[in-house]
A and B are shown apart, each in its own frame.
Chain A
């Protein structure tokens, strides 16, 4: 389950950022990835929401600090359903 989520997440990031070699780690932040700015951040979130069929609140999106937290958030949302 966790591996699958991680693979899907990487896939979403690769398509959104147009970068096929992108690898993600728990601690990856926006500053570590080229082209990941405030605009693409929101577009990534939209893609993530679509892919995992979840809905984030505005505060949740803004509170995220790294990819690990995003994964945890997705897991908690899906676990809840």
Chain B
């Protein structure tokens, strides 16, 4: 067997994986400010007067922190179960702070994680591993650069392309919304509402 070409193939493989990891992490994931990963990373900063709001999509899409006050931050995430909210809460409680915390936990529908893709860059924090293990699959490869995004590369690219398209969206304090007025269909309205 030709060991040199096997070694070369392995080096190309490892190199491509590392490059792809860097591109995905810094070129794609970190460049989407409203992507859940980056909103969670915001929690790692110690903003002493920040009032965090934790919860599910109900928080995420319905509570505008700008309206409620300048120090609020929306950490709500689609499909996050009580276990996920709990991890965020633990990170917050470890801080030397006395500000209030707004929590909207999901108790009923607990077998959820949301999209696992958002947690992969965060797995260096061991607190994220138990929910990931419980609701998704936590494999050894998720701790190896390049391999850790296995099965998720296209998920990130799609998210990134969607983000590029959202030119009418406004984002602040962890909350984002579409500023284009929803299309109003008179006929459909009249059909539904009987005046």
Question: Do any beta carbons of A and B sit within 8 angstroms of each other in the complex?
Answer: no
Binding site for B on A (CB under 8 A): none
